[in-house]
A and B are shown apart, each in its own frame.
Chain A
Amino acid sequence: MSKIAVSTTVNGDPAEFLCDAGESLLDALRGSLGLTGSKEGCGSGDCGACTVMLNGQMVCSCLVLAVEAEGKSIATIEGVAEGSVLHPVQRQFLEHGALQCGFCTPGFIVAAKALLEVNPDPDETEIRYWLAGNLCRCTGYDKIVRAVSAAAAELRQERSAA
């Protein structure tokens, strides 16, 4: 089986890798590209730990073929902070103790950031439904919801100040 060469953009930078036709984007990110921040909790779209942005849409990278990344742009947890400056969602997760084991956290942060990009002022129900594809077994979601609300407020303030 010969490998397929894929040229793509990951977190704004050009990236190239070789993959099998049936390989998932998650495996390519974690394996060939060494970006292990995206996690595999299920491999079947059920847990959201592998959430990444594909051309601006959040998707489960375990349910995307690596070859589909050709010519697309991908954003992963590794690209959420700008250099060493944390994104407000990341900071609020820390401030609120919204992670225990932290395994679900990258997926939640990518998903929450995506929510705040389309809905700057989500209510509790909107946050909960948007994040329903991300499983967390440790926290009971309470502090995650609070962290996302707080990040939304922070971003709104930043925007109105700007």
Chain B
Amino acid sequence: MTVQTYHAPRTREEAVALLAADPAARVLSGGTDLIVQMRAGRAAPSSIVDIKNISAMQAVLGNDGRYTIGAAMPCTGLLRDEGLCKAWPGVVEAANLIGSVQVRNRATMGGNLCNASPAADSVPALIAAGATVLVVGPAGMREVPVEDIPVSPGKTSLAAGEFVAEIRLPVRPPRSADAYLRSIPRTEMDIAVVGAGVSLTLDEAGTCTAARVALGAVAPTAIVVPEAGAALVGTKLDDAALDAMAAAVRAACRPIDDKRGTAEYRTAMAGVLAKRTALIAAARARGEA
């Protein structure tokens, strides 16, 4: 490894300054992608900026139904916030499908997002949730929808010196819930062949009033499929609505054939998983699960 320096800044400003000063610097959060890449020679940062020591970077804050999650909060840490687990079970379960317990004790949603893998598990769940991130950088702060961060495999829209400081989840209307499922050959320790996140709201009669459907591993980045969400709105998630949603999902897929699965399989699984995920989210919204 060619890394020369390791920095552990205590403030966001310090981190921004360090990142801005070295164009070949990399942010270190849990390191479960970065260290693997460094070892394999796929990343060769000249310096590392460890953001875990910045205050609130490893915290979950609930405020009037909104949640702010520090970008360096390990995935298992999310499980310790009961309110968050209740409000966003899909986001928490997605983050806690990553790797193993050992990996999740380090891995973060911030890293999952900024690694910009199309198969990142927490990202479709965050997109479905309508999450945003707070980006800080030399030019100040900006709030960006999660889906705007990854632009292609391994690439983000972050400018030089910028990093993600917070993940923000909006207020939940009543009878809302989310869910995330992925398709993997094993039961654990696997990268998603397809992932599907669904977040929805029902009215008192059980009719869907809002829905967002997002997919992972079927395109160069995780994607939101508005047509799929629209297919659920106004329905009671009957078979016809679910079929229409699945059809919209499949139509949005632009996957590749690779070692983890064929394009055809991925497209078909996207439909299957989106349906199953929607049903879990709906059951949760009805308070059944």
Residues of A with Cβ closer than 8 Å to B? Answer: 1, 4, 20-24, 43-46, 48, 51, 54, 57-60, 62-65, 67-68, 70, 111, 114, 129-130, 132-134
Contact = CB atoms under 8 A, between A and B. Distances in A.
B103 A63 contact: yes
Interface stretch (B36-44, B134-142, B174-182, B213-221): B36-44
A44 B36 contact: yes
Nearest to A46: B189
A111 B28 contact: no
24 contacts: A20-B1, A21-B1, A21-B4, A21-B47, A22-B2, A22-B3, A24-B35, A45-B36, A45-B102, A48-B100, A54-B105, A58-B101, A60-B103, A60-B106, A63-B36, A63-B106, A64-B35, A65-B48, A132-B100, A132-B188, A133-B102, A133-B103, A133-B189, A134-B100
A159 B40 CA distance: 45
Contacts of A48: 100, 102
Nearest to B45: A22
B28 A60 contact: no
B102 A51 contact: yes
Given A45-B102, A132-B189, 4 more contacts: A21-B48, A22-B1, A70-B8, A133-B101
Interface in B88-110: 99-103, 105-106
Contacts of B35: 24, 62-65
A133 B134 CA distance: 32
A133 B188 contact: yes
A29 B106 CA distance: 19
Contacts of B47: 21
Give me the 3 closest cross-chain CB pairs, A-B, nearest first: A133-B100, A22-B1, A22-B3
B5 interface: yes
A134 B99 CA distance: 11
A20 to B, nearest CB: 7
Interface in B1-56: 1-6, 8, 28, 30-32, 35-36, 38-40, 47-48, 50, 52
B5 A60 contact: no
B48 A133 contact: no
A35 B50 CA distance: 26
Contact of A58 (B5, B32, B36, B105): B105
A65 B36 contact: no
Given A21-B4, A59-B102, A133-B102, A45 B48 contact: no
Nearest to B31: A63
Contacts of B40: 44
A34 B46 CA distance: 28
A114 B50 CA distance: 26
A135 B32 CA distance: 18
> Which interface residue of A4, A62, A67 has the most chain B CB atoms within 10 A?
A67
B101 A111 contact: yes
A29 B30 CA distance: 19
Given A65-B28, A129-B188, A21 B103 contact: no
B63 interface: no
Given A22-B3, A48-B100, A64-B31, A57 B105 contact: yes
Given A63-B31, A111-B102, A21 B3 contact: yes
Nearest to B189: A132
Nearest to B36: A44
Contacts of B1: 20-23
B187 to A, nearest CB: 7
A46 B190 CA distance: 10
A162 B48 CA distance: 48
Contacts of B52: 68
